[in-house]
Structure 1
Amino acid sequence: MKVIGAMQTPGGDWRVEVVRHPSGSRWYRLIHRDNTVDFLTIGRVAELLSQAGVDMGELTEVDAPSARAS
């Protein structure tokens, strides 16, 4: 798996990563503190962030690690 993009809230409390599998499939990963949820659609990411009171507009692009194991 490879992280090909990432965004996070200004304080870094919430992070969204775009993950690509070697097969070419992509999904989103939502990270909040010690909790990680994989295999999300962007719609589900938006829904979960909204439920937590986080506006997607608060996310800013950040450097993605070159690779991250899941």
Structure 2
Amino acid sequence: MKVIGAMQTPGGDWRVEVVRHPSGSRWYRLIHHDNAVDFLTIGRVSQLLAQAGVDMAELVEVDTPSARAS
């Protein structure tokens, strides 16, 4: 599996990664501190962030080593 993109809140408390499996399938990973949830759709990511009081519009794109290598 490879992280091909990432966004996070300006303070870095919440991070959303786009993950690609070698088979070509993609999903989202939501990370908050030491907790991570895999295999999410973007809709579910949006729901979970909204429940936590985070607006998706607050997310900023961040560089990832594996995204640079793609």
Q: TM-score range by the shorter chain?
A: over 0.9
Structure 2 gap ranges (5+): none
Q: CA RMSD in A?
A: 1.0
TM-score, normalized by length of structure 1? Answer: 0.93
What displacement does 1:65 show? 3.0
Number of residue pairs aligned between Structure 1 and Structure 2 = 67
- Structure with the higher helix share, 1 or 2: 2
Within a 5 Å distance, the mapping from 1:43-54 to structure 2 comes to 43-54=43-54
User: Cα offset for 1:22?
Assistant: 0.1
List aligned pairs for 1:8-23, cutoff 5 A. 8-23=8-23
Using CA pairs under 8 Å that are at least 6 residues apart, name the structure with larger relative contact order, 1 or 2: 1
Unaligned segments of structure 1, at least 5 residues = none
Specify the SS of the correspondent of 2:45: helix
Counterpart CA distance in 2 for 1:44 and 1:66 is 24
Q: Cα offset for 1:66? A: 1.3
TM-score, with structure 2 as normaliser: 0.93
Aligned counterparts of 1:65 and 1:40: Cα–Cα separation in 2: 22
Give, as a single letter, the amino acid of the residue that structure 2 aligns with 1:65: P
Q: Distance in 2 between matches of 1:15 and 1:38?
A: 12
